[in-house]
């Protein structure tokens, strides 16, 4: 529908004086509210927007402090919904100033004639759902109340400044300013003694400019932030050229990227680079002056792994020490209490150099906390600072502040949102809340919001919501509400996502830690903008999964369920594999499948370094077989784990699970010997099993030679390798040795019977398929032999076997036979522990480089192996918080 037709067909908002009647009420007239109004009108809805401010702009209306700018390059921080608008506006700077962004939003409001439907200077004070009428009633502090079918909160993530928590603010006789509520008149600071409290993004932007004006500036810092030079200037020539060469493609890439800015994923991990190479990449990033660049392009592990992150954090601290002359001030400015990126990093212009000025003093509140504000200034527990002006750059009650400030929001059954959110925000997709029909939040908690280019996230949310309202209207539905199941599932998915990044390791406004008494937890969605978009699309394509839709003349529709049950990174991997449209492995034949696997593995980054890696040959059942040995960097001798790789007895070799062996070698502090046992169909059953046993025996007899501890070995294996490990334990028991101290069975094949629910539920779509398992069995073992315990160990005698740790994955055809084996072991009196990995698939734990959520499982596996070997447990700093995530047992 064209704009003109849509607007003509839209019924006009009506008012009975006390109440304004509209289809949709939008609260907020910033980036989100403006685009909403435009889309709603175009879709033929009557709509009103309400804003406390006296003009459009939202963030950019309120934040007028010196130095206020965006920190995403402005060519990316723009609307993209209308290509004509996109090319009609030219930004003058790489990072535009607040006045320019405000002019842009005014330009947008004029271009689409939006102001006529905005009630400025009006605050929405509370909202109540009228169940009988299926409408929201909004009360305002200025003029008519509003009755609307749908209530959309475009109230902003950073729009409620945090009130100062310091005693005595009212006693201060000088001037007080808040960066988030800066006055519209000129603020004269020249010749004055100014205090700035707070060194987050706003403080860091304002401090250098205030220092230039003030007679003296005292900066009160509680938490140091990482800041990078913006290198501001004209819009970046590279990015502008990219945009202009293919505007649609550029914008589309941003929509599907992780942060809403079109950068590809970082191709390398830190340990693949030398110190010099890392430094070179870092210097390039430092010179680029782009937060998204440094957060995404340095090395892939910097945002997800403590060790990878420590490298970049230290390089930034080195820069700070190089700029700030006074070592004590430099040390105070150097963040040491959070990983880089886990707290919002800042872009600066001369921030650190400002501390070299003679008129600037830094006060480290970790050493001398503020005790009060007095009539003449600020008092710490050590000193008094007399000042004329205090600037509070203390940030916002982020993400939930503006939503909760509308109080009460009363939903179905008289429930209040603030009660429902008392222990932290609950939502479905960050867009809706169960119990609050027809209420939508734009960039609400649970969506990528502040971890993204918000312009992109806002457009995605607005489009999704307005498309849904249109679809509802067409189908005759008048109410939509998230189900409790969907909402709980989203909370679980959010928790899973939060293990992907390092945000959980810092106390920040992302987690609510900056507001006393606020419930703690990572509020924004950390799974990325592109994955989030695909989930929202999937909700629609699966029949509005997780929503209940009702209407006066249609049957209610409720397709209940959880939208994401896979771990977030597993979902990404499976989607990537699906997009590659690979031929089924079994269709390639053994040689083709092996070549495919070798090529697939070659494209993956090498595993992490260990102390030593060496190759050799050992005595198999029928001649020598190769092995690869991974030795820890710690002094030996170490216990030895005999490892059997996966590959369905047909594929793989002693090198193919290299990243997993390295990771486990590092975590356990044990030697891993990966055995190159023989494969079918060239060497059918029982060749692999017999090689497994022979290799274990040989290794047990050569522990000293291999640098191992003179003690029983352990065995471990994944998939068909898990099968060989299990069988080896049975053969060792029955053949008089060697002694085995414990077995780690990772997604093992334990039985030839496919008649299990996991084979039916996960037959296709999770990498290991039922047809592929059929093929593996056919390549290795003739039907007549399949019940032999040397290939179906579940059918063997289980008493007297070594203690076991059995790992199964929820989305794996082999899940139920692994569980059956663990239960059968326990029933036979074998000490056994199970780890049922929720949301994981067959290859999750061996895809060390891409399935980050596999860390928690590997931590548990390593603990089990150390326990079996009688070693003490030690928690690595890098594993902090990872142990209990994503696991069901
Ligand atoms: C200094 C600063 C710099 C930023 N830089 C970037 C950047 O570079 N890139 C980026 O992606 N994001 C940035 N952000 C985040 C920024 O908030 C968003 O990019 C975006 O402007 C949010 O738009 P919005 O419309 O959702 O909310 P806002 O712009 O916050 O607008 C919300 C509006 O709702 C109104 N409102 C709230 N509650 C009520 C109520 N009860 N009644 C009436 N009106 C109400 C407010 O008055 C406000 O005008 C920055 C934020 C700040 C503070």
pLDDT in tens, 840-888: 999 999 999 889 999 999 999 999 999 999 998 776 555 554 444 433 3
CA of 184 to the centre of ligand 1 (A): 17
CA of 6 to the centre of ligand 1 (A): 28
User: What is the distance, to the nearest Å, from the Cα of residue 107 to the centroid of all Cα atoms in its chain?
Assistant: 35
Report helix angle 247-256 to 529-541, nearest 10.
80
Give the integer Cα–Cα distance in Å for 319 and 63. Answer: 29
Alpha helices in 193-305 (DSSP H): 201-213, 237-245, 247-256, 275-288, 291-296
Q: Which of 66, 109, 148, 159 to mutate to test the pocket of ligand 1 (most atoms within 8 A of CB)?
A: 159
On whether the CB atoms of residues 456 and 80 are closer than 8 A, the answer is: yes
506-535 mean pLDDT: 91
Single out the residue of 37, 54, 41 nearest to residue 4, CA to CA. Answer: 41
On whether the CB atoms of residues 656 and 645 are closer than 8 A, the answer is: yes
795 contact partners, CB below 8 Å, separation of at least 6: 751, 787, 788, 789
**681: cis peptide before it, omega within 30°?**
yes
Structure tokens at 434: 């169960």
C-alpha dist (Å) from residue 287 to 111, 167, 201, 209, 315: 37, 42, 19, 22, 13
Residues in contact with ligand 1 (CB, 6 Å cut-off): 27-33, 50-53, 58-59, 61, 63, 68, 70-72, 77, 123-124, 154-159, 202, 402, 405-406, 442-443, 453-455, 458
The residue whose CA is least distant from atom 3 of ligand 1 is 70
CA of 309 to the centre of ligand 1 (A): 30
CA of 60 to the centre of ligand 1 (A): 7
At 13 the pLDDT is 53
623-643 mean pLDDT: 97
Q: Check whether 16 has a pLDDT greater than 80.
A: no
Q: Check whether 176 has a pLDDT greater than 80.
A: yes
Give the integer Cα–Cα distance in Å for 569 and 886. Answer: 12
> Where does residue 883 rank: exposed (0-12), middle (13-18), buried (19+ CB within 10 A)?
middle
Supply the DSSP symbol for 801: P
Structure tokens at 514: 């900056």
On whether the CB atoms of residues 802 and 741 are closer than 8 A, the answer is: yes
493-513 mean pLDDT: 90
Q: Check whether 1 has a pLDDT greater than 80.
A: no
CA of 64 to the centre of ligand 1 (A): 13
At 444 the pLDDT is 97
How many CB atoms sit inside 10 A of residue 90's CB? 8
At 878 the pLDDT is 53
The residue whose CA is least distant from atom 19 of ligand 1 is 454
At 606 the pLDDT is 79
Per-residue pLDDT band for 75 (boundaries 50, 70, 90) equals very high
From the CA of 140, give the closest atom in ligand 1.
Answer: 42
pLDDT digits (tens, 9 = 90+) for 363-418: 999 999 999 999 999 999 999 999 999 999 999 999 999 999 999 999 999 999 99
Average pLDDT, the chain: 94
Beta 389-392 vs 175-178: how paired, if at all?
Answer: parallel
Structure tokens at 544: 């509005």
pLDDT digits (tens, 9 = 90+) for 241-274: 999 999 999 999 999 999 999 998 887 899 989 9
> Where does residue 265 rank: exposed (0-12), middle (13-18), buried (19+ CB within 10 A)?
exposed
CA of 59 to the centre of ligand 1 (A): 4
> What's the alpha-carbon Rg for the chain, to the nearest Å?
31
Single out the residue of 588, 610, 608, 609 nearest to residue 600, CA to CA. Answer: 588
On whether the CB atoms of residues 469 and 36 are closer than 8 A, the answer is: no
Supply the DSSP symbol for 447: B
Give the integer Cα–Cα distance in Å for 720 and 791. Answer: 9
Alpha helices in 603-644 (DSSP H): none
Sign of the alpha-carbon dihedral angle for 338, 312, 284, 576 = negative
C-alpha dist (Å) from residue 304 to 299, 660, 838, 879: 10, 18, 20, 11
pLDDT digits (tens, 9 = 90+) for 130-144: 999 999 999 999 999
On whether the CB atoms of residues 305 and 359 are closer than 8 A, the answer is: no
At 513 the pLDDT is 86
CA of 155 to the centre of ligand 1 (A): 7
On whether the CB atoms of residues 793 and 749 are closer than 8 A, the answer is: no
From the CA of 402, give the closest atom in ligand 1.
Answer: 38
Give the percent of the chain with pLDDT over 90: 90
The residue whose CA is least distant from atom 49 of ligand 1 is 58
Q: Which of 95, 98, 104, 454 to mutate to test the pocket of ligand 1 (most atoms within 8 A of CB)?
A: 454
On whether the CB atoms of residues 53 and 30 are closer than 8 A, the answer is: no
At 602 the pLDDT is 83
Beta 409-410 vs 19-27: how paired, if at all?
Answer: unpaired
Structure tokens at 554: 């249609």
pLDDT digits (tens, 9 = 90+) for 26-56: 999 999 999 999 999 999 999 999 999 999 9
Enumerate the β-bridge partners of residue 377.
386
Q: Which of 48, 58, 72 to mutate to test the pocket of ligand 1 (most atoms within 8 A of CB)?
A: 58
On whether the CB atoms of residues 794 and 824 are closer than 8 A, the answer is: yes
CA of 496 to the centre of ligand 1 (A): 28
The pair phi, psi for residue 12, each rounded to 5°, is -75, 145
CA of 349 to the centre of ligand 1 (A): 23
Supply the DSSP symbol for 682: T
634 contact partners, CB below 8 Å, separation of at least 6: 611, 669
**738: cis peptide before it, omega within 30°?**
yes
Q: Which of 434-443, 571-580, 782-791, 872-881 has the lowest mean pLDDT?
A: 872-881
The pair phi, psi for residue 188, each rounded to 5°, is -95, 120
On whether the CB atoms of residues 430 and 449 are closer than 8 A, the answer is: yes
CA of 251 to the centre of ligand 1 (A): 22
- Mapped onto helix, strand or coil, the DSSP state of residue 119 is strand
pTM, whole model, 2 decimals? 0.94
Sign of the alpha-carbon dihedral angle for 144, 149, 153, 154 = negative
């Amino acid at each position: 529908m064209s704009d003109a037709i849509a607007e003509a067909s839209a019924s006009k908002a009506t008012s009975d004086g006390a109440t304004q009647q509209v289809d949709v009420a939008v609260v907020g007239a910033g980036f989100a509210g403006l685009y909403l109004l435009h889309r709603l009108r175009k879709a033929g809805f009557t709509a009103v927007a309400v804003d406390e401010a006296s003009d459009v702009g939202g963030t950019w209306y309120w934040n007028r402090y010196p130095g206020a700018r965006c920190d995403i390059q402005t060519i990316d921080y723009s609307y993209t919904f209308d290509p004509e608008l996109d090319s009609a506006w030219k930004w003058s700077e790489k990072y535009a100033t607040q006045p320019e962004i405000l002019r842009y939003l005014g330009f947008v409001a004029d271009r689409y004639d939006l102001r006529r439907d905005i009630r400025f200077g009006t605050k929405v004070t509370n909202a109540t759902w009228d169940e009988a009428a299926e409408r929201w009633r909004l009360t305002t502090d200025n003029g008519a109340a509003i009755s609307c079918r749908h209530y959309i909160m475009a109230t902003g993530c950073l729009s409620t400044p945090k009130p100062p928590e310091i005693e005595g603010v009212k006693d201060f006789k000088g001037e007080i300013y808040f960066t988030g509520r800066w006055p519209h008149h000129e603020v004269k600071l020249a010749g004055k003694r100014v205090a700035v409290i707070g060194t987050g993004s706003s403080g860091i932007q304002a401090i250098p400019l205030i220092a230039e004006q003030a007679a003296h500036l005292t900066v009160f810092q509680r938490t140091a932030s990482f800041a990078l030079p913006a290198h501001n200037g004209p819009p970046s020539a590279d990015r502008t050229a990219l945009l202009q060469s293919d505007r649609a493609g550029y914008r589309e890439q941003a929509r599907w990227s992780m942060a809403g800015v079109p950068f590809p994923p970082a191709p390398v991990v830190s340990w693949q680079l030398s110190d010099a190479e890392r430094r070179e990449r870092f210097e390039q990033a430092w010179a680029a002056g782009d937060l998204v660049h440094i957060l995404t392009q340095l090395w892939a592990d910097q945002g997800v792994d403590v060790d990878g992150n420590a490298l970049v954090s230290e390089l930034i601290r080195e820069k700070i020490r190089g700029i700030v002359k006074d070592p004590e001030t430099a040390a105070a400015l150097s963040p040491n209490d959070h990983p880089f990126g886990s707290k919002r990093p800042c872009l600066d212009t001369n921030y650190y150099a400002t501390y070299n000025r003679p008129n600037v003093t830094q006060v480290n509140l970790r050493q001398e906390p503020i005790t009060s504000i007095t009539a003449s200034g600020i008092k710490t527990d050590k000193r008094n600072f007399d000042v004329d002006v205090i600037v509070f750059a203390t940030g916002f009650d982020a993400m939930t502040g503006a939503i909760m400030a509308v109080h009460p929001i009363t939903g179905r059954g008289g429930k209040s949102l603030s009660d429902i959110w008392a222990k932290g925000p609950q939502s479905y997709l960050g867009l809706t809340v169960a119990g609050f029909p027809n209420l939508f939040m734009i960039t609400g908690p649970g969506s990528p919001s502040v971890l993204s280019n918000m312009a992109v996230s806002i457009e995605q949310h607005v489009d999704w919501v307005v498309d849904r309202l249109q679809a509802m209207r067409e189908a005759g539905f008048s109410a939509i509400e998230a189900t409790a199941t969907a909402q709980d599932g989203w909370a679980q998915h959010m928790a899973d996502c939060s293990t992907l990044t390092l945000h959980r390791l810092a106390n920040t406004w992302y987690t609510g830690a900056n507001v006393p008494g606020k419930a703690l937890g990572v509020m924004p969605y950390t799974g990325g903008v592109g994955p989030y978009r695909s989930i929202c699309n999937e909700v629609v394509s699966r029949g509005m999964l997780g929503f209940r839709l009702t209407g006066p003349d249609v049957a209610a529709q409720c397709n209940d369920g959880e939208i994401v049950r896979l771990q977030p990174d597993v979902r990404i991997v499976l989607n990537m594999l699906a997009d590659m449209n690979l031929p089924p492995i079994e269709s390639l034949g053994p040689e083709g499948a092996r070549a495919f696997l070798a090529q697939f593995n070659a494209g993956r980054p090498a595993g992490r370094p260990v102390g030593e890696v060496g190759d050799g040959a050992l005595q198999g059942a029928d001649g020598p077989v190769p092995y690869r040995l991974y030795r820890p960097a710690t002094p030996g001798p170490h216990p030895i784990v005999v490892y059997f790789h996966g590959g369905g007895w047909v594929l793989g070799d002693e090198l193919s699970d290299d990243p997993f062996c390295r990771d486990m070698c590092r975590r356990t502090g044990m030697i891993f010997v990966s055995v190159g046992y023989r494969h079918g169909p060239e060497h059918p059953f029982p060749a692999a099993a017999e090689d497994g046993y022979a290799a274990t025996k040989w290794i047990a007899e050569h522990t000293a030679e291999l640098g191992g501890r003179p003690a029983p070995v352990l065995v471990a294996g994944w998939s068909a390798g898990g099968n060989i490990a299990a069988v080896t334990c049975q053969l060792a028991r029955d053949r008089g040795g060697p002694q085995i101290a414990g077995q780690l069975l990772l997604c093992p094949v334990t039985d030839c019977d496919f008649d299990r629910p996991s084979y039916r539920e996960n037959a296709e779509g999770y990498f290991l398929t039922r047809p592929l398992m059929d093929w593996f069995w056919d390549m290795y073992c003739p039907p007549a032999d399949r019940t032999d315990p040397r290939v179906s160990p579940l059918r063997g005698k289980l008493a007297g076997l070594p203690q076991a740790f059995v790992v199964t994955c929820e989305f794996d055809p082999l899940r139920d036979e692994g569980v059956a084996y663990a239960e059968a072991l326990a029933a036979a009196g074998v000490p056994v522990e199970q780890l049922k990995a929720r949301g994981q698939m067959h290859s999750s734990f061996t895809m060390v480089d891409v399935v980050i959520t596999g860390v928690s499982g590997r931590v548990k596996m390593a603990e089990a192996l150390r326990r079996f070997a009688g070693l003490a447990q030690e928690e690595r700093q890098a594993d902090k918080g990872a142990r209990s995530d994503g696991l069901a047992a």
